[in-house]
Structure 1
């Protein structure tokens, strides 16, 4: 018989119902998803500008990769403090401030005049985006029924793929007509408008913590110690964070370097290469939703089935991508090779939504955004930052086609981590559920005792 391991939310009468109703929930989802799209437009616009920057400033591939990695590094560093503040104060206000900062920073990139200035501006973009994924996912998860969590997380994070599509495509087209500087200005404006509308989203009540958890979330240092202890208590969270990061290495490499690969290996013009690469990223967006639903279905009978299917999907993505990039030009036509890469792109986003939902399942509701920020730290520092930089180094040493053929091997590491996590997932979810129920029972008992006190 299937085990019901959905985690309860304290103060919420029906975990399978909407927190404030359907209307506020769907408005929160639409606004959060829209900002997620803008987030990735501003983040990914630079990858289609690599050929222009290489020509204008003579940058190496390692330097170009660093312009992508800089954003992910500052996201990783800033995610935990921002999520800590959001968990204890306001999710909506933190998202408003984040969107304003990253949008203004993106616009400032158009005024840079050197590699150092552009690298600094891109780092500020990441500082603004830090914590957005974790805080936004916690807000959505709290508005909607628990049974919809995995699919909604897949939708939320798959929109990052759509934003990347638009960022890559707009960057290439705008740069070909008005120069690469103009691309940053055009894509930075929508975030300012959406941030003003976001203040109308309803925030969920800040969860009252036990004294132990309250002390643990007072400062970033105490939070870091608490997170280390949480990772020690929850092997699922640790292994899923590592596995998700390894798979994101593959995803970030393809997203960052595919326009340049098509430009150099296939001889496409930068604008045409950007459009072709955007189609592959679009397949990744669709793949994230499809594989997210598949993973949810795999966990209906046994929760650990989610992780087993994730491991299989990672290996399938590698099996498609390595021969797609390794095939010599005469073995496959441009369209045939692009079709193989697109098929791999559809599979490589398989972990995007499920890893977030799994981590949310094994974290206390009172620090849900902070727990998601731990995952974001891993994914950004060891995934999104590592992928483009490692690929750039390999490209300088081996050439870009060889680097692109080697990087999908990281999916083997991802699959192994997910298989290890499957061994502890159900026990960790049950432990959190028992803890929440015990705290609610203790709270109800204290309330009853206070009511009896004359």
Structure 2
């Protein structure tokens, strides 16, 4: 059975000691749990219309059911990731998957809004650190030279899981009732959670590590933790990214309800159409990231200009789309707008990596995740639900893209200070080239 070889980018001590086949099995199972994660998270969006009708819920209440998961993910990602490093990553991932699956099953048997809220809260707790811990497991069994590809592929699982969650959930809800939509997601997650620790063993996936080079480099930098917040540019990256995800996250959450109310689509068809829009967002995220890397290889500051362009472009396209009469042209333009709505994710991550010391990149990305969830993914659906209760969801959607203007303004502020901030970091021993490359392997 073939083993991965040690190449120029992979030292002997850092090389994986597992076979190629076993490494891909680990990837498949970890990727499968990531898909389960997002299926359990997004299935709720597909059954919004049914819950609203059965329990007489307001849009504010529905938005809170969605936002509480993102809020818990944002608040708990960093502390739970630290616990996982100490407790054991495989064991931690298994516990996470069991928790979010059982909590999703709790959604299926909830008798009222309060019980559903508690179950969704627990879904968020279970899913909080899966992304960061899961990618750590994946990269530990592959050569360093493959980490960028694997990271990109792993992160894309979130979009695929969202698509499957809304589409499959809509079909199950339409034919068997909304409770079976949650039960189906829970069953899938529990099956993988049982299988995962049987096949993936902590002792097999942990490669040997060396820290001599890291220690020497760290000696050049005083207080690397301060780079998390010491520059105006990095603070702007956090805020700008979070504000822009307000737009994309809101459209994803409320689109099934929008299609149900204004297009008269049943839950299965609304979920399927909404999943296409989510898929456009995922594809756009990857394409915008590729464009950013190719255009900004020698000029990292151009990434900020692209962020501004993505913000203003999505604002124009989505504003026009939601101003159009209901119909195919509107849906097509929404898809086009969503192609670039999440395009800031890659460049914003690169900014964070450039502007913080590599030794604290894990904490930096946890901070970015916190900003994304608190400013965007959790806040967007809730505020939009409140506005929808007052003026209607169609009118609320017309206002949502305007948040992108605020995001563009924040990135413009970052651009004005970026070079000065980078010069200050270089003087403290942070190498721009190294941090630029490391963003591609961070979870």
Given the two structures, how large is their TM-score scaled by the length of structure 1?
0.80
Contact 2:224-2:360 within 8 A present in 1 as well: no
Contact 1:155-1:288 within 8 A present in 2 as well: no
**Shift of residue 143 of structure 1?**
6.3
- Correspondence for 1:410 among 386, 397, 403: 403
Counterpart residue number, 1:258: 255
**Shift of residue 231 of structure 1?**
2.9
- Correspondence for 2:278 among 278, 281, 285: 281
**Shift of residue 184 of structure 1?**
0.8
* 1:248 to 2:245 alignment: yes
**Shift of residue 369 of structure 1?**
3.2
Counterpart residue number, 1:216: none
**Aligned equivalents of 1:345, 1:434: Cα separation in 2:** 34
Counterpart residue number, 2:329: 336
Counterpart residue number, 1:132: 130
Distance 1:156 1:16, change over 3 A: farther
**Aligned equivalents of 1:185, 1:162: Cα separation in 2:** 19
Counterpart residue number, 1:121: 119
Equivalence map 1:86-165=2 (5 Å): 86-88=84-86, 90-139=88-137, 152-165=150-163
Counterpart residue number, 1:189: 187
Give secondary structure in 2 for the equivalent of 1:83: helix
**Aligned equivalents of 1:15, 1:69: Cα separation in 2:** 41
Equivalence map 1:249-328=2 (5 Å): 249-328=246-325
Contact 2:81-2:133 within 8 A present in 1 as well: yes
**Aligned equivalents of 2:401, 2:300: Cα separation in 1:** 27
**Aligned equivalents of 1:127, 1:45: Cα separation in 2:** 17
**Shift of residue 416 of structure 1?**
2.8
**Shift of residue 135 of structure 1?**
2.9
**Aligned equivalents of 1:90, 1:240: Cα separation in 2:** 32
Contact 1:137-1:369 within 8 A present in 2 as well: no
**Shift of residue 360 of structure 1?**
4.3
* 1:202 to 2:198 alignment: no
Counterpart residue number, 1:391: 384
Q: How many residues align?
A: 409
Distance 1:377 1:205, change over 3 A: farther
Counterpart residue number, 1:381: 374
* 1:48 to 2:43 alignment: no
Give secondary structure in 2 for the equivalent of 1:14: coil
**Aligned equivalents of 1:427, 1:20: Cα separation in 2:** 36
Contact 1:44-1:164 within 8 A present in 2 as well: yes
| Comparing 283-292 and 345-354, the one that deviates more | 345-354
Contact 1:154-1:354 within 8 A present in 2 as well: no
Counterpart residue number, 1:14: 9
**Shift of residue 53 of structure 1?**
0.3
**Aligned equivalents of 1:19, 1:235: Cα separation in 2:** 38
Contact 1:156-1:353 within 8 A present in 2 as well: no
Equivalence map 1:217-236=2 (5 Å): 229-236=226-233
* 1:371 to 2:364 alignment: yes
**Aligned equivalents of 1:37, 1:146: Cα separation in 2:** 24
Give secondary structure in 1 for the equivalent of 2:205: coil
**Shift of residue 31 of structure 1?**
3.7
How far does the alpha carbon of each residue in 1:157-184 deviate from its partner, in whole angstroms, 9 at most, with x for none? 3321111111111111101111101111
Counterpart residue number, 2:62: 64
| Structure 2: gaps (5+ residues) | 1-6, 435-443
Distance 1:85 1:357, change over 3 A: farther
**Aligned equivalents of 1:203, 1:415: Cα separation in 2:** 42
- Correspondence for 1:179 among 177, 180, 185: 177
Given the two structures, how large is their TM-score scaled by the length of structure 2?
0.82
**Aligned equivalents of 2:318, 2:94: Cα separation in 1:** 38
Contact 2:30-2:134 within 8 A present in 1 as well: yes
Distance 1:91 1:309, change over 3 A: farther
Distance 1:266 1:324, change over 3 A: same
**Aligned equivalents of 1:147, 1:125: Cα separation in 2:** 34
Distance 1:230 1:194, change over 3 A: farther
**Aligned equivalents of 2:346, 2:33: Cα separation in 1:** 17
**Aligned equivalents of 2:429, 2:140: Cα separation in 1:** 16
Distance 1:57 1:84, change over 3 A: same
**Aligned equivalents of 1:252, 1:202: Cα separation in 2:** 34
Distance 1:284 1:58, change over 3 A: same
| Comparing 309-318 and 120-129, the one that deviates more | 309-318
Counterpart residue number, 2:441: none
Distance 1:88 1:390, change over 3 A: same
**Aligned equivalents of 1:38, 1:136: Cα separation in 2:** 13
